[in-house]
Structure 1
Amino acid sequence: MTTTVAFIGLGHMGGPMAANLVRAGHRVLGHDLVESALADAAAKGVERAGSAAEAAAIADVVVTMLPAGRHVLSLYGPEGLLAAARPGTLFVDCSTIDVADSRAAHAAASAAGHRSLDAPVSGGVVGAEAGTLTFMAGGEQAAFAEAEPLLSVMGKKAVYCGAAGAGQAAKICNNMILGVSMIAVSEAFVLAESLGLSDQALFDVASAASGQCWALTVNCPVPGPVPGSPANRDYRPGFAAPLMAKDLGLAANAVRAGGVDAELGLRAAELYARFAEGGGAEKDFSGIVRAIRAASATTADTEKGATP
């Protein structure tokens, strides 16, 4: 059954997601403030809309994929998408935003007579292009059931996590695990190098032992052991370091607000913020291994020069 979808936000993630909907036979009206993104999407069959509101006005479902909560709430504002859409339209926000902002967006949609779902994704640009994303959804179960056929086109798995904001909560918790584990894996490789152990030897052991994790076996931070990892293409992102820094920042805010003792999560947020602001601005988040290696070399040089 063909669904008319308004897709707002056609960047590195949204563009491929919208294209997959088109390939599945759905009508997709797209809008983005960046002309090149809109042109790329149009080349893949997405219909250009004159504005986000224009697309929402004739859509059955409105999907948003935006950088931050302020962008979502601005578009959901009094004269934005909610006002333009027909009564009862389903809004699916795939952005990764603060849980409080997500709940505010749900409340605004409900007050305007619409249904809504927060459905952030995991899988990066590669997953968006391949249609293998994982969606974490929060909202009414009926809204999730209606959105699921579209989510199944854009991803391989959609998990219903609970009430409004639950999808965002699951996303930031998952990415806190990922950020911490990538730092741990990177530190282990740098330690192995200092001990004269090859990257391949450590990988062969850890990938078959208790150190096994996604950060090691799929997104390995050193070139060689996993040919498809970003480390083999000069850390060209998959999942860019600034995005990891953003997600860990959201997690850190939630940690502090909830009074949770999460020392590693907070430290990971600090390390990725520093990496993203420096040499990692345009690199995959696994490139943090370079920062750890550089800092280790500096520390070693300082210790060698210390007075006994």
Structure 2
Amino acid sequence: MARIAFIGLGNMGGGMAANLAKAGHDVRAFDLSSEALERARTAGCLPVESAAEAAEDAEAIVTMLPAGRHVEAVYADLFAANILPTTLLIDCSTIDVATAKRVAETALANGITAVDAPVSGGIGAANAGTLTFMVGGTDAGFAEAKPILAAMGQAVIHAGGNGTGQAAKIANNMLLGATMVATCEAFLLAEKLGLDAQTFYDISSVSSGQSWSMTRYCPVPGVGPDTPADHEYQGGFATALMLKDLKLAAEAASGARADTPMGTKAAELYQRFADDGQGGLDFSAIIKMLRG
């Protein structure tokens, strides 16, 4: 088993680090939150006082941070600390493609291999170890990262070169955001037309309107499998995080000259919802705003 540094123990990172420890890895964990460090200790990790201390003699360093600037700052500290040239850098944050490529190039210039490996699945999957990882990097980097990522997820897919993991993540979440809005609209239209929500679900879930937002993450309480909608839209994937990903998609689309009108509209709607103080609710809670 490997010695692994894990930096960033938030809602997602905490469960991921715990699963690495559960798999038998020697996990040195760091976060600015003392509460997060204590949870990591309870989960079998060794809390440390800095990213540099976590990285000492580590075979792999996993980061799960809020934004690209945080990843760049941590990587700069790690390079300054002279981490081992054999250390593998695995960034599981969701950040912009340009930064993902830039930090990988900086790592390479320091003789170090880096991959971007953002995740899909939310807090529940992070805790359960059933995440999907989309990995951008060299073939060798992917091969080295795969067994570590497999301890935290059920699917580890090589997307291509550095940055393509982030590209896959933001394109996927743009699709998810737009699909969830359309799913909410469909349920509300069915309701206005006098159709029972369960009946509509029974029909649409086996018809051409079927989607993951419908059958796996239904935004209507009491319909379909258990989802955040059944818990007053607590937990799951926060609206603020969906909005972050939609903004990253819009930025990437602008740079690539890709026309994404549905993604743009979804971002506008989630911005309105977040501006109304609902950023902490699960993103499926946007049905509340659409209901009016």
TM range (shorter): over 0.9
Give 2:192's aligned residue.
194
- Distance, in Å, in 2 between the alignment partners of 1:126 and 1:170 is 21
1:137 paired residue among 135, 138, 163: 135
Match of 1:251 in 2: 249
**How far apart are residue 83 of structure 1 and its match?**
2.8
Q: Which of 79, 84, 100 is matched with 1:82 structurally?
A: 79
Task: Measure how far apart 1:256 and its partner are.
Answer: 1.4
Aligned partners of 1:126 and 1:238 also within 8 Å: yes
1:277 corresponds to which residue?
A: 275
Q: How high is the TM-score relative to the length of structure 1?
A: 0.93
CA contact (8 A) 1:83 1:112 kept: no
Q: Could you say what the CA RMSD is over the residues aligned between the two structures, in angstroms?
A: 0.9
Q: Which residue of 1 aligns with 2:3?
A: 4
CA contact (8 A) 2:117 2:134 kept: yes
One-letter amino acid of the counterpart of residue 52, structure 1: A
Match of 2:123? 125
Please list every run of 5 or more consecutive structure 2 residues that lacks an aligned counterpart in the other structure. none
Identity %: 53
Change (3 A) 1:34 1:277: farther
Bigger Cα displacement from structure 2, 27-36 vs 278-287: 278-287
The amino acid of 1:19's aligned partner reads A
Query: Secondary structure of 1:18's match?
Result: helix
Find the aligned partners of 2:205 and 2:71 in 1 and give their Cα distance. Answer: 40
**Which of 168, 186, 201 matches 1:203?**
201
Question: Secondary structure of 2:286's match?
Answer: helix
CA drift at 1:276: 2.0
Kept after mapping to 1: 8 A contact 2:215/2:225: no
Separation in 2, partners of 1:170, 1:203: 29
| 1:66-215 matches, cutoff 5 A | 66-77=65-76, 80-84=77-81, 85-215=83-213
C-alpha distance after superposition, 1:80-122 (max 9, x if no partner) = 0123211121000000000001011101111111101000000
How many pairs are equivalent? 291
Distance 2:131 2:79 in 1: 27
Post-superposition CA distance 1:10-42 (Å, at most 9, x none): 011001100001011000000001111111111
DSSP 3-state at the match of 1:197 = coil
> Rg larger in 1 or in 2?
1
Give the match's secondary structure for 2:94: coil
Partner of 1:45: 44
> How many Å separate the matches in 2 of 1:226 and 1:14?
28
- Helix, strand or coil: the match of 1:236? coil
Identify the residue that residue 15 of structure 1 maps to in structure 2: 14
- With normalisation by structure 2, the TM-score equals 0.98
Report the secondary structure of 2:278's partner residue.
Answer: coil
Q: Within 2, Cα distance between the matches of 1:147 and 1:261?
A: 34
Q: Distance in 2 between matches of 1:52 and 1:274?
A: 36
Query: What amino acid maps onto 2:110 in structure 1?
Result: A
SS of the residue corresponding to residue 156 of structure 2 reads: strand
Structure-1 separation of matches of 2:265 and 2:6: 36
- Alignment check: 8 A CA contact 1:95 1:120 kept: yes
